[in-house]
Structure 1
Amino acid sequence: MKPSFGKDFTTGSIPRHLVRFALPILIGNLLATGYSIINAIWVGKLLGKDAVGAVAVSFPIFLGTVALCSGATLASSILVAKAYGAKDHAVIQRVVNHSWSIALILILTVTAGGYLLSDSLIRLMGTPEEIQSLAAGYLRISFVGFAGLYLSYLVSSVLRGVGDTVVPLLFVILSTVVNAVLDPVLIMGLAGLPELGLNGAALASLIATVLTTVMGILYVKRKYKGEPIHPTRLEFDGKAVAEILKLGLPSFVQQMLLSMGYAFITVFVNGYGAAAIAAFGVASRLDSIVAMPAIAMMMAASTLTAQNLGAGKGERIKDVLKWGIVINIPVIVVVSAVCVSFPEAVMRIFVREQDVISSGVDYLRIVGAGYLFFIFFYVSNGIINGAGKTVSTLIISFISLCVIRIPLAALLSHTSLGLRGIWAAIVISFAVTTASSLLYYASGRWLPDRGRSGAKPHRMAAE
């Protein structure tokens, strides 16, 4: 018997499910990345390289808040998907109620702490003095918008758990449109509003996020009225919270490692001046764009894995890996080829200064080839996470970032390679991530304890 809501991925064609699940996520992620892309274009064209550098310095810290959002809510998505595969609505409701309780605590803590510590965080990054004030102001406004950011992740994660990726896409479309309209208005002070400069770009994102998150929550409550995907009350049972944290905390730490990796690389790049910082800021956003198709496939692989393990159909997972990789290949190859073959044209979309473009061209020619590794490790990591082995992907990320990328970047940046050495370290870390993830998948250690072909779902007690 199929559930009365959501989409059941425990039967039918694996490649069809992957595409149908991943495509709305890909579109939504591209549009969400449009937040930072739109900001980068307006900031670069209207405010110059100091403002671009200020955004670049703030970006690793912003990635930290995104890490918290995606890491904490990944646990909700996995637990909901497993319970959905097992057709246990009581467990779904309990996961949702506890997830919202955790959300309120995190929102209050991060918003207050981030706002008060913005200046200190910017200085800690080794930011050049001339852009510290710009970066701190931009970061403070970003922290104020954390509540909307986190709740949007939470609602989307629960919907993904039950197989719905279309509704979150609608919210992202609306948010991006609002952001695109408000950016020039608030930056330049159009329509009688004050000219806010870089703070206007941050405020535009804040308004767009909060507005569409509120509208999204109201829409989901109406569309899924009576279904267990929105909170009926706040719960904070110790065992239930511990189960969510057991899955979510490793993912959060993994995402934080990624953010720290960017932060350390930014510190290394800071030594090469404002032009290098601006180039790395633009390139970091390009990394995010290129990874979008692979990340969408990772999310699809994670949900299909969780639902099928919840239904005791673990034998279907091998097809998730195969078809996830096959679907990734043409998309990632084309994007990588464009970045490597036409790096100057890509950079000119965002900035005008030739010194910034030159640094960015070197980055794309070196790191662009490394994008090909995205084809593989995002799919295998998605399966591993969907099986609830988030500690394993944390270890993989730790090795890649803390053992390989950061020390190697520090070493190579002090050789004749200079900036190119930093870019080379990033590519090498991609290769290590891919090898580690595929080897762990091949080992079979991610499979449930009760066997390879199907096991009882990892469930949160509903009583």
Structure 2
Amino acid sequence: MGKDMTQGSIVKVLLLFTIPLVLSGLFQQLFNWVDAFIVGNVEGEIPLASIGATTVVYNLCITAIIGFTSGLSVLSAQQHGKREFWKMRETLLSFAFILGAFFLVIACVGMVFTTSIVELLNTPDKLTVIAVQYLKIMFISVPFLAIYNVYSGVLRGAGDSRAPFVAVIISSCANVVLDILFVAILHEGAAGAAVATVISQIAMTLFMIGYTEKTYPYLKYRLDKKIVVKTTLNQGSQFGVPPTIQASISSIGNIVLQRFMNGFGEQTIAAITTAYRVDSVIFLPIINFGSGVATVVAQNIGAENEKRANKTLKIGLVMIALISLGLSVFIFFFGEYMMALFGLSSESVAIGKTFFRALAPFYIVYGFSMVLRGYLEGRGDMVFSSAAGVTSLFSRILACYLFVEVFANSIIALSEAFSWFVLLTIYVVRYWRKTAKRNQEMKVPSRQ
């Protein structure tokens, strides 16, 4: 029946829900880490940079999927809080079918136009051939990841963050073995790393479907029920489309930023894309903690427990402050050593070190933003949250192009920190206004 988050210690609930999410994300990042680690150390810096130069395109699909399914997770959590389990099944089956089919078409189109996409990114000539091979293979996994994330999102809404963790562990272990086989032993290079990742992600999706069918009877597909329910599509789209638009625009913005970064040459590409691989792991506790806040708040809103939802925000802000400060200290002093694991030159590591030293002090700003976003999304404020994310992205792009002459490649880190301040300001203003409005509505004038 999932996990009831409407009672018990909020600190305990958040930790027990978030820790599997963090571990799941950590193992999921191993897809990129293992690919980069083995390719970088076996094949060299050029193939490593080739993978990094195409990551933003692949992530455009993935972030759109994750954006939509994060909305489905909030909807499922509210349905779980109301004990409307049949609606959760309709949400799961309708969107597993629709998103799987949609991203199958997207993957096919991407494979046809891979070369044009890579050239559009202003990818250096030395990287083009390998980048095309890698990206074309990676597109194959996109529809499977769409289905996986629908299942994962609905189970998170039910309070089950452990199942995705187990699925990712299985997939990550398979990816490590297959990477060693295809890259280190068979010397298939970046293309071999892509094949290993695709096979592993297909296995992860099949496991998640099988687990859900066996463990959650109320989510199981039934022959006497429709696969796609129109009313469910309408409701799910209200929750899923706004974060999808935001995620897609963010990914397109990242493509613009990647093109901007590619102008600094192969060494900066290798350094910064590797730094982002490290950063993506460091950010996991922050991002997933925000998701945990969203789920707890959503279940309590569904159960009409307003007081507990508000208390979750306050406790979440204190917890994220401690988490963010710890991560800042770690990456400030040890980030360069983590980058060195990927076989980069000392010059590239030095670029990455400068990146981390500029960005790390502002992690707490990002942490507060994620908790406030989780709270607002848990209440169903999806459209505004998405608009805030887009505004933050545009501020980052603008800062990059306006101040590149002043800060050179350091602007990549500084512009991101600036965008976090913009994001936090927007969320704080939104929270104050929404809270004031609710308080005003709760006031009932006394009349004798």
Name the TM tier (shorter chain).
over 0.9
Q: CA deviation at 1:368?
A: 1.8
CA distance in 1, matches of 2:279, 2:306: 33
TM-score relative to the length of structure 2: 0.93
Does residue 424 of the first structure (1) align with residue 420 of the second (2)? no
Q: Distance in 2 between matches of 1:439 and 1:376?
A: 13
User: Where does the alignment leave 5 or more consecutive residues of structure 1 unmatched?
Assistant: 454-463
Q: Partners in 2 of 1:98 and 1:297 — Cα distance? A: 28
Q: Relative to structure 1, is the Cα distance of residues 207 and 451 closer, same or farther in structure 2, using a 3 angstrom cutoff?
A: farther
- Paired position in structure 1 for 2:132: 136
1:382 to 351, 354, 374: 374
Cα distance change on mapping 1:75 and 1:26 into 2, 3 Å: same
Deviation at 1:276, TM superposition (A): 0.3
Provide Cα deviations, 1:305-363, integer angstroms capped at 9, x if missing partner: 11111111122122111221222233321221122223432321223312211211111
The CA deviation string for residues 168-223 of structure 1, in whole angstroms up to 9 with x for no partner, is 111111111111111121013x3xxx431111111111111111221221122112
Aligned residue among 428, 431, 434 for 1:444: 434
The amino acid of 2:57's aligned partner reads I
Please name the residue that 1:47 is paired with. Answer: 43
2:170 counterpart of 1:174: yes
State the AA in 2 paired with 1:256.
S
Q: Distance in 1 between matches of 2:126 and 2:437?
A: 52
Which one-letter code corresponds to 1:10 in the other structure? T
| Aligned equivalents of 1:423, 1:78: Cα separation in 2 | 31
Query: 1:338–1:259: structure 2 CA closer, same or farther, 3 Å change rule?
Result: same
Deviations 1:114-154 (A, max 9, x none): 21121111111111112111111111111101122112211
User: 1:435 maps to which residue?
Assistant: 425
Q: 2:352 aligns with which of 360, 366, 390?
A: 360
Q: In the alignment, what sits opposite 2:446?
A: none
Corresponding position: 1:243 with 2:235? yes
Structure 1 vs Structure 2 CA RMSD: 2.1
Equivalent residue number for residue 408 of structure 1: 399
Normalised by the length of structure 1, the TM-score is 0.91
Residue 317 of structure 1 pairs with residue 309 of structure 2: yes
Which residue number in structure 2 is paired with residue 274 of structure 1?
266
In the aligned structure 2, how far is the partner of 1:433 from the partner of 1:230?
A: 40
SS in 2 for 1:10: coil
Structure-2 separation of matches of 1:47 and 1:103: 36
User: Of 209, 215, 228, which aligns to 2:219?
Assistant: 228
Name which of structure 1's ranges 389-398 and 329-338 shifts more when overlaid on structure 2: 329-338
Task: Kindly indicate whether the alpha-carbon contact (under 8 Å) linking 1:82 and 1:310 is maintained by their aligned counterparts in 2.
Answer: yes
Counterpart of 1:15 in structure 2 is: 11
Q: Give the structure 2 partner of residue 186 of structure 1.
A: 182
Please point out which of 97, 118, 125 is paired with 2:93: 97
Cα deviation for residue 391 of structure 1 reads: 0.9
Aligned residue among 139, 142, 145 for 2:141: 145
Structure 2, gaps ≥5 residues long: 444-448
Name the structure 1 match of 2:30. Answer: 34
CA drift of 1:447 comes to: 8.2
Tell me the secondary structure at the aligned position of residue 219 of structure 2.
coil
- Paired with 2:428 and 2:83, the residues of 1 have a C-alpha distance of 31
**Aligned residue-pair number:** 442
Residue among 110, 120, 124 paired with 1:124 = 120
Local SS of the residue matching 2:329: helix
Match of 1:253 among 235, 245, 251: 245
Greater fraction helix:
2
